[in-house]
């Protein structure tokens, strides 16, 4: 059977550091690396197939995050990769710390816990025996370690333990974002994939309006746009102009026309957003205007817009809806199972 009821107690491997080991210092931790072994606080660990496994009673502190559990190190030349090997449910708690404030209503935190668990489990299933299943950054989901976790996070994990979202007998792609700006996005329109799964379709969301960045504005000089697009596209062609090409049903920019000296080409809205800086062009729900030699953008929402809208979930939780209702609102036709 694919889903064992004991799975939730098992471990998951998360890459928490990747970089140069020389000059690498962690609080309470001292690493010394030789071609044959790694010395951690004076204790020798020999390589077993080029990796070192160690446990520590103290939290491993890296870049303002404190990790507990066991660790596996891989060292190649002057680079080190540190993988945190932890209980699956503890991992979910560490993601809550990175992705949602502990002061938020409990049902919103629980909804986030189910998203985090579902997402992590689907990545785990892709390659169960991989060296690591997830990375601790925004590439997957922000994981800030499990050391001294707030009790509200722990309660949310415990209350939903093992629960994940399924569609067609598979874990769903449980995407989430800060604020949808009024309606969520069809995943196909954001990432140009062939089809949106039925549970990642646009839903109306009148619940995220009180987010302070619900509306945003940003402006760029033409010089900066040129610089950013040329860098992103790895292209030397001078960019003469740009125009919104088309909108999707939910008023998100589908693609841009980019004009060069000789021709024009299309660039997907999402790629344009990445080129301009995803924190500045906060979402694809924007209009554009030329004002006094600058290009101004006026938009709504924050993030890619696919899946759960966190600020919407907060409002629904404040209104008294439970986490199952909230998740079913943003992910249509899903069901829940317990691992």
Q: Shortest Cβ distance from residue 55 to Zn ion (Å)?
A: 42
Q: Shortest Cβ distance from residue 163 to Zn ion (Å)?
A: 23
* Residue 309 found at the interface with Zn ion (CB under 5 A): yes
Binding piece for Zn ion, criterion CB under 5 A, among 24-32, 290-298, 304-312, 326-334 = 304-312
Number of residues that bind Zn ion (CB under 5 A): 5
State the residue for tokens 């060069």: 260
215, two tokens: 């509306």
Q: Shortest Cβ distance from residue 308 to Zn ion (Å)?
A: 9
Among positions 166-185, residues that touch Zn ion (CB under 5 A) are: 180
The residues near 103 (Cβ < 8 Å, ≥ 6 apart) are none
Q: Which of 312, 326, 329, 330 binds Zn ion (CB under 5 A)?
A: 312
Among positions 205-234, residues that touch Zn ion (CB under 5 A) are: 205, 208
Name the strands in the sheet holding 294-300, side by side, starting at the edge strand that comes first in the sequence: 215-221, 294-300, 286-291
Q: Which is nearer to Zn ion, 86 or 174 (CB)?
A: 174
Give the residue from 115, 64, 67 showing the smallest Cα distance to 92: 115
What is the rounded CA–CA span in Å between residue 305 and residue 299? 13
Q: Shortest Cβ distance from residue 238 to Zn ion (Å)?
A: 39
Binding piece for Zn ion, criterion CB under 5 A, among 127-135, 192-200, 214-222, 311-319 = 311-319
Q: What b/e sequence results for 157-177 when a residue is b if at least 16 CB atoms lie within 10 Å of its CB, and e otherwise?
A: beebbbbbbebeeebbbbbbb
What is the rounded CA–CA span in Å between residue 54 and residue 69? 9
Binding piece for Zn ion, criterion CB under 5 A, among 16-24, 73-81, 96-104, 309-317 = 309-317
Binding stretches for Zn ion (CB under 5 A):
180, 205, 208, 309, 312
């Amino acid at each position: 059977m694919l889903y064992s009821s004991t799975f939730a107690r098992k471990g998951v491997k998360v890459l928490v550091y990747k970089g140069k080991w020389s000059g690498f210092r962690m609080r309470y931790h001292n690493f010394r690396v030789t071609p044959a072994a790694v010395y951690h606080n004076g204790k020798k660990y020999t390589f077993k197939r080029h990796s070192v496994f160690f446990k520590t009673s103290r939290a491993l502190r890296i870049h303002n995050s404190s990790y507990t559990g066991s660790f596996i190190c891989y060292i190649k030349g002057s680079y080190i990769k540190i993988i945190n090997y932890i209980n699956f449910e503890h991992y979910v708690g560490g993601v809550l710390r990175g992705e949602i404030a502990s002061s938020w209503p409990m049902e919103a935190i629980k909804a986030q816990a189910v998203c985090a668990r579902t997402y992590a489990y689907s990545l785990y299933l892709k390659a169960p025996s991989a060296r690591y299943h997830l990375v601790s950054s925004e590439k997957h989901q922000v994981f800030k370690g499990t050391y001294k976790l707030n009790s509200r996070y722990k309660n949310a994990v415990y209350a939903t333990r093992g629960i994940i979202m399924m569609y067609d007998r598979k874990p769903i792609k449980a995407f989430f974002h800060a604020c949808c700006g009024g309606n969520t996005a069809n995943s196909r329109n954001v990432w140009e994939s062939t089809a949106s799964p039925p549970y990642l379709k646009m839903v109306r969301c009148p619940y995220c309006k009180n987010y302070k960045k619900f509306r945003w504005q940003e402006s760029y000089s033409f010089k900066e746009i040129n610089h950013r697009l040329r860098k992103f596209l790895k292209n030397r062609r001078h960019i003469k102009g740009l125009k919104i090409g088309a909108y999707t049903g939910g008023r998100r920019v589908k693609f841009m026309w980019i004009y060069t000296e000789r021709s024009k080409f299309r660039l997907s809205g999402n790629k344009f957003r990445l080129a301009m800086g995803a924190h500045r062009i906060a979402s694809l729900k924007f209009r554009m205007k030329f004002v006094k030699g600058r290009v101004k953008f006026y938009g709504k929402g924050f993030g890619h817009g696919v899946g759960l809208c966190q600020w919407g979930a907060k409002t629904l939780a404040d209104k008294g809806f439970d986490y199952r209702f909230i998740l079913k609102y943003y992910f249509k036709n899903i069901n829940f199972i317990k691992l």
